[in-house]
Amino acid sequence: MNTFEYAPAPESRAIVDIKPSYGLFVGGEFVDGHGRSFKTISPSTEEVLSEVAEADETDVDLAVKAARRAHSRVWGRMPGKERAKYLFRIARIIQERGRELAVLESIDNGKPIKETRDVDVPIAAAHFFYYAGWADKLKYSGHGTESLGVAGQVIPWNFPLLMLSWKIAPALACGNTVVLKPAETTPLTALLFAEICQQADLPPGVVNIITGAGDTGRTLVSHPDVDKVAFTGSTEVGRAIAKSVAGSDKRVTLELGGKAANIVFDDAPLDQAVEGIVNGIFFNQGHVCCAGSRLLVQESVADEVLGRLKRRMGTLRVGDPLDKNTDVGAINSAEQLAKIRRLSQIGEQEGAERWSAPCDLPDHGFWFPPTVFTGVTQAHRIAREEIFGPVLSVLTFRTPGEAVEKANNTPYGLSAGVWTEKGSRILKVANALRAGVVWANTFNKFDPTSPFGGYKESGYGREGGRHGLEAYLR
Amino acid sequence: MNTASTRIDVRKTYKLFIGGGFPRSESGHSYVVSDVRGRFVANAALASRKDARDAVAAARKAFPGWSGRTAYNRGQVVYRIAEVMEDRRPQFVEALRQGEGRTPAAAGKVLDESIDRLVWYAGWADKLTQVVGNANPVAGPFFNLSTPEPTGVVAVLAPQGSSLLGLVSVVAPVIVAGDTVVVAASTERPLPAVTFAEVLATSDVPGGVVNILTGSLDRTAPTLASHMDVNALDLTGLAGDPEQATELEIQAAANLKRVRRAPAAEPDWSVEPGLDRMTDVLETKTVWHPIGV
């Protein structure tokens, strides 16, 4: 049989211009930090991309002051319809500079260009467009019309620009100003976004971007003049934040980890379900808080689903994130790779059976092949802990009741998937699942109009949609 | 005047806007449009009954495509209209100066409000469902969801006084809601409407979504009101003329058009609108589905 190999289809890097070093974006300008600096690398090559300032306490304080000034003097007083126009401008500039943002995101994060180009960037622009429209319609929101003040926002490395837009767009629409800290491994698109704010003539101090790691984030969320804390990241850090704001007047939203069940019933359209399983766990290298990391498949179709799944996994193309044919890119950091390897090892030690798709991994950079564990029980750590990588744990069930019980048997509750041709079953199971988002016969769908957020230890508050305004209004 | 050295203007022909094209009236008729001081400005097309029917046909043809687009996309397209309008400021300011007798500054302000109105409505495209639709907690094992859907082709008699801000304020809500529209422009002040048509034609608005007729309401309004393929009728342009408005409302009853009645006097268009101009041209659809294993 003839097989046709894919020719390389690399997206050009020429469109991005990465500076050798970046300062902090405070008060509408790039300024030098008072602390040290750190390097950001490309996870697919380990090449050093740039050196970025690490904001210390003084820097955080200056940024919060700039945001406070902008809130009390300009942004908090500006009529909603004028705030809207700035947000529309930002949406348009993101669209105009979309390819540049996509390439930069792929380089800094390691995710495939296919995803940055078709998912991260367009949805980021859509978020600004959507919330721009809310800025002068807050009285229709049902959540009040007054801004809170200064929002301190800390975002993760898995969707750097998209998480930035989820945070900044609603905050600004409601009249708040922000100090945002991108993750230490993926600061570059946030810094490019700072430039976009300049191009949009956004008043100085409305958006401040400070780079740094955990210490910077802690300093920001515990700063006494921050009115609102918004965090996306691990449950562990979310818990620490919840403790640190106890007793204060700060409003908090937390979007944390997950261990989503993707439930496949025996009447499901199996090819579609397999696509959904693959998308659910291998999209973005599995670096997705709502990833469908636990496959619950009905016993009667388990062998068939697994057979099809492995065959499909064998066709996934792992490699250069800038190649337009790449399905699975690089693991974001050495640290994350180590965590995925450790948990996978534990999975084997605890008796689950490991299978990885045969694929050639590049010599440099951080890589992990798409992997599935079978024979997993609910007691196994790989069924309980968030791996945040391309690793799927497979469990089986016999009845819908058992499926729901297993699906809910987790401290998390961010998302879930249901696959069946029967509409009434979808709704019954969806009602019984303790999760903030339930996808039926689809998975990993995101839209600015659709609220997102978790039950239980996956955090509290919702981002997106009309509900997303609540966190930024009083 | 030294005709040898003075350049003579090339004047614009003001035509109808139907199905994305700019036809003259099929009747061949036109009428004189004067400025506020009574001086000749242009001959505008005098739309006939047949033009009105053609416009309805174009609007109907455009309806499936336009209503089938995502709300996000419709919002972007309406926002794009605002962008292109901003780009044509001098032309609108001049038209408002001539037609409404405004100073350039006052005309500029009306234009600002018109553009802002479009932006305001653009933002509603993907929020309306979230504000006027909802899940209904029925007392049984059923999923029950009500969502708004566009009613279809809407005929609008635009305000006679406010020829741009008023026009934008009656057209934008209809298209944002996903309906398509046939609008009869202000009879005496039709020129901003024709310029607006040129903006629409260059703004990613699909042909037929907005159709603009200029001329006398005597010719077009009864045709639109009685047309069996028009789903809703907005009589705003008959403000202060209850007799004719009632006559048209009676005709509209033939196929139970949704009628927005004429106000006693033309409203103050500078006030922020409510949702009613959108909800007037929306239906509510409620879907039931059983819940059970």
Q: Closest Cα to residue A328, out of A312, A341, A349?
A: A312
The Cα–Cα gap between A137 and A440 comes to: 32
Question: Do the domain assignments include residue A6?
Answer: no
Q: How many CA atoms lie within 13 A of A176 on its CB side?
A: 33
What pLDDT does A2 receive?
76
- Chain-chain contact of B291 with A431 (C-beta, under 8 angstroms): yes
Which residue of chain A has the CA closest to B131?
Answer: A140
Do residue A397 and residue A284 come from a single domain? yes
| Residue (of A461, A414, A455) closest to A143 by Cα position | A461
Q: What is the pLDDT of residue A60?
A: 98
- CA dihedral sign, ordered B267, B273, B275, B279: positive
Q: pLDDT digit string (tens) for A373-396?
A: 999 999 999 999 999 999 999 999
Whether residue A354 lies within 8 A of chain B, CB to CB, comes out as no
Contact A449 B275 (CB under 8 A): no
* Domain assignment present for A268: yes
So what's the pLDDT on residue A38? 97
Mean pLDDT of A399-405: 98
Specify the DSSP element, H or E, that contains A239. helix A235-244
CATH number at residue A136: 3.40.605.10
pLDDT tens digit sequence for B69-128: 999 999 999 999 999 999 999 999 999 999 999 999 999 999 999 999 999 999 999 999
Instruction: Please name which of A271, A268, A316 lies closest in space to residue A296, comparing C-alpha atoms.
Output: A268
Mean pLDDT score, A339-368: 97
**In this predicted structure, what is the pLDDT of residue A202?**
98
**pLDDT at B5 (0 to 100):** 77
- Tens digits of residue pLDDT in A259-310: 999 999 999 999 999 999 999 999 999 999 999 999 999 999 999 999 999 9
CB of B288 less than 8 A from some CB of A:
no
A78 and A176 inside one domain: yes
CB-CB contact of B237 with B266 (8 Å): no
**For chain A, what is the mean pLDDT?**
97
From A132, which residue of chain B is nearest by alpha-carbon distance? B123
Q: What does the pLDDT average to over B34-46? A: 96
pLDDT for residue A155 is more than 60: yes
pLDDT for B3: 58
- Residue A226 and residue A285 in one domain: no
- The pLDDT tens digits for B90-100 are 999 999 999 99
Q: What CA–CA distance (Å, rounded) separates B102 from B114?
A: 15
B150 touches chain A (CB under 8 A): no
Q: Kindly tell me if the per-residue pLDDT of B2 is higher than 90.
A: no
Give me the pLDDT at residue B230, please.
98
Q: Token pair of B216, please?
A: 């006398």
The verdict on residue B14 lying in a domain is no
Helical axes A57-70 vs A214-221, angle rounded to 10°: 40
A468 touches chain B (CB under 8 A): no
Token pair for A411: 């401290």
Q: Is the pLDDT of residue A121 over 90?
A: yes
* Same domain, yes or no: A202 and A298: no
% chain B with pLDDT above 90: 96
Helices (H) and strands (E) in chain A, counts: 15, 18
Q: Is residue B23 part of a domain?
A: no
The rounded percent of chain A whose pLDDT value lies above 90 is 99
Of A84, A400, A425, the CB nearest to B123: A84
Could you tell me if A30 and A136 lie in one domain? yes
Which residues 74-113 of B have a C-beta within 8 angstroms of A? 75-76, 79
DSSP 8-state class, residue B167: H
B283 in any annotated domain: yes
Closest to A95 in 3D by CA, of A229, A202, A200:
A200
The pTM of the full predicted model, rounded to 2 decimals, is: 0.96
Q: Let me know if residue A266 belongs to a domain.
A: yes
Out of B75, B141, B290, the one facing A133 most closely (by C-beta) is B75
Same domain as A277, residue A177: no
Instruction: Please indicate, yes or no, whether residues A348 and A401 belong to a single structural domain of this protein.
Output: yes
* B11 occurs within a structural domain: no
Q: Say whether both A102 and A195 belong to one domain.
A: yes
Whether B216 is in a domain gets the answer yes
Spatial distance between the Cα atoms of A436 and A415, rounded to a whole number of angstroms: 6
Q: Do A132 and B293 touch (CB under 8 A)?
A: no
- A94 in helix, strand or coil? helix
CATH, residue B216: 3.40.605.10
Query: Which residues in B lie closer than 8 A to residue A448 (C-beta atoms)?
Result: 72, 126
- Report phi then psi at A97, rounded to 5: -100, 25
Q: Which residues of A touch B291 (CB under 8 A)?
A: 424, 427-428, 431
Give me the percent of chain B exceeding a pLDDT of 70.
99
3-class DSSP state of A268: coil
3-state secondary structure of A458: helix
* Tally of helices (H runs) and strands (E runs) in chain B: 10, 10
Q: Please tell me whether residues A252 and A274 are part of one structural domain.
A: no
Question: Distance between CA atoms of B88 and A268, rounded to whole angstroms?
Answer: 55
- DSSP-assigned letter for residue B239: T
Is residue B24 assigned to a domain? Answer: no
| Residue B12 maps to a domain | no
Token code pair at residue A17? 């211009």
Helices assigned H by DSSP within chain B: 49-68, 71-87, 89-100, 104-124, 128-132, 165-176, 191-201, 217-226, 242-252, 276-279
What residues make up the domain containing A103? 21-256+455-472
Q: Please list every residue in chain A whose beta carbon sits closer than 8 Å to the beta carbon of residue B114.
A: none
What's the alpha-carbon Rg for chain A, to the nearest Å?
A: 22
Residue B13 lies in a domain: no
Q: How many domains does chain B have?
A: 1
User: Domain of A434: which CATH number?
Assistant: 3.40.309.10
Q: Which of A255, A386, A457, A470 does the annotation list as catalytic?
A: A255
Q: In what order do the strands lie in the sheet with A371-374?
A: A353-356, A371-374, A391-397, A294-298, A261-264, A415-419, A437-440
pLDDT over 90 (residue B38)? yes
Sign of CA dihedral B263, B266, B267, B273: positive
Question: What's the pLDDT at A4?
Answer: 83
Give the pairing of strands B153-157 and B232-234. Answer: parallel
Which structural domain, as residue segments, surrounds residue B153? 30-290
Chain B residues touching A135 at Cβ < 8 A: 123
Using a CB-CB cut-off of 8 Å, the residues of chain A touching B76 are 129
The confidence score (pLDDT) of residue A275 equals 98
Residue A10 lies in a domain: no
List pLDDT tens digits, range A403-414: 999 999 999 999
Structure tokens at A23: 């300062």
A450, part of any domain: no
The reply to whether A149 falls in a domain is: yes
Residue B187 CA to residue B220 CA, distance in Å, equals: 11
Q: CB–CB of A134 and B72 under 8 A?
A: no
For residue A1, the model assigns a pLDDT of 63
Q: What is the mean pLDDT of residues A181-209?
A: 98
CA dist list (Å): A330 to A287, A310, A323, A357, B64: 10, 20, 12, 15, 44
Q: How far is CA A45 from the centre of its chain?
A: 22
Q: How many domains would you assign to chain A?
A: 2
Q: Which of A11, A289, A290, A457 is catalytic?
A: A289
